[in-house]
Chains A and B, each alone.
Chain A
Amino acid sequence: MSGKEFFVGRYEELGWIYNEFESKPSIRINTMNVKKADIVKRLESLGIVLEKIPFLENGYWIRKSEFSVGATAEYLLGLYSIQEAAAQIPATLFTGLENKTVLDACASPGGKTVQLADLMQNTGVIIALDVKRRRLGALSNQLERCRVKNTIVYQMDARESSRLNTKFDRILLDVPCSGNYVADKGWFSRRTLKDVKKNAELQRQILAEAVQVVKDNGEIVYATCSLEPEENELNIDWAIKTLNLEIEKIKCHGEKALTNVFGRELDSSIENCRRIWPRQTQGFFVCKLRKQACE
């Protein structure tokens, strides 16, 4: 069970008509390092045409640039990061991040880790994990470039977070996923439903471990850039029925998530998650979970 026809057919069944879509390049201003107005002015003076992303406080689409926005002095000085628009959403869903202890469980290459540090204004502590050593170099470079000061990085599988002996106020689960065709041109030829199910199982294991290390009433933001319901709605339906979690209402870009998947009725609170079909951004799924306090 694979191929473009198979997956596009599934999307239609879920109520969405497939379209060819090219994601627009976008940046996010690191406000811990520069005032937004100042950097916008500087980039415009370089001939870069920016367009404010309406649903993000510090995000801009690059409308026009004669050169790569990854090769300016301003980028190398950490004044902004290159981050896809939808990928900028998850970190903004947490409340009151300053001075908190935060786990970024699947952190490389570090775009969202830097964003968390920015939202925390370099206060508190971020513990950033990635299971693959070769990816930690990229993560460390991002942290150094963006002058992040509040982060500790470990090579660790997110499913072993308990080894840290720390209880977290906030956890970001930007879990490994199957991705989507917008971000990966060869997606349809490479992915199978078997891959999707395998990733979904891994994601459940990561979710289950996160619940072990989050404080009572602590927040978990779960995100994927997959369009497949096994990795999104079905996983969250399983999580709220199994892991003492409840879904929080969120206000962000995207549509209400599906509460009926291929004829299977899910918990009605799933509609508080957000599913983003590729239109203005790449495909994405995001939701905010809260661990219920023990009686």
Chain B
Amino acid sequence: MKPIKDFVGQFRTSIDLDESLIVKKQNRYFLLNEDLKRHVQRDFFYAGVYLGKVKGTIFFPSFTLLAMIAERKANKVIVDKKTAWLFICGRDIFKRGILNVTGSKRKGDYTLIQNEYNECLGFGKILRNMREEKDKNKVFVKNILDIGDFLRREKSASFKHKI
């Protein structure tokens, strides 16, 4: 539970998760509800809401967890259409593509990246103090994780689709 709380805290927010409904399977965390808790058995592979996994000392969040954080008041950068697309392709964010910022604008902080529809596309790390930097052609947020990851996973897994 601590890795999740610590991760969420980096966005200057917190989320209430019922610890009795969180299960850890090897290094992966899942959030259940009461119905699922009644049914789940020890040897499950995936259950309820996947929250993320720990590798070494680093917590890797799921996109569902990021979306849960995005529902709260937290560090967020809203970007325009073109920037959103580039971010999904793994690119960093330049100041010129930013439409709005809520929460921290401070170098070193983590922030969620959202599109014009307020949908969470991933998260990144603020590289420059946004208030001070005037150059619109400099990278402001470094991409750490974006939803294009689903495609990258598919590619690397090279599984066959059943239609």
Contact = CB atoms under 8 A, between A and B. Distances in A.
Contacts, number: 97
A76 B41 contact: no
B50 interface: yes
Interface string B3-16: 00000000000000
Given A127-B39, A144-B62, A136 B151 contact: no
Interface string B108-135: 0000000100010100000000000000
A147 B64 contact: yes
Interface stretch (A150-158, A192-200, A206-214): A150-158
Interface in B112-163: 115, 119, 121, 147-148, 150-151, 153-154, 157, 159, 161-163
A84 interface: yes
Interface in A111-165: 111, 124-125, 127, 133-141, 143-145, 147, 149-155, 164
A241 B162 CA distance: 30
Contacts of A143: 46, 50
Nearest to A83: B163
The number of chain B residues touching the other chain, given as a range, is: 35 or more
B16 to A, nearest CB: 16
A154 B162 contact: no
Given A141-B153, A141-B154, A143-B50, A76 B88 contact: yes
Q: Which 7 A-B pairs have the closest CB atoms?
A: A153-B46, A76-B147, A84-B163, A152-B47, A140-B46, A153-B45, A138-B159
A125 B39 contact: yes
A77 B147 contact: yes
A152 B48 contact: yes
A225 interface: yes
B156 to A, nearest CB: 10
A141 B39 CA distance: 21
A124 B154 CA distance: 29
Contacts of B36: 125, 150, 152
B54 interface: no
A111 B63 CA distance: 19
A149 B31 CA distance: 9
B163 A183 contact: yes
B49 interface: yes
A122 B76 CA distance: 27
A149 B48 contact: yes
A151 B46 contact: yes
Given A101-B39, A124-B35, A154 B44 contact: yes
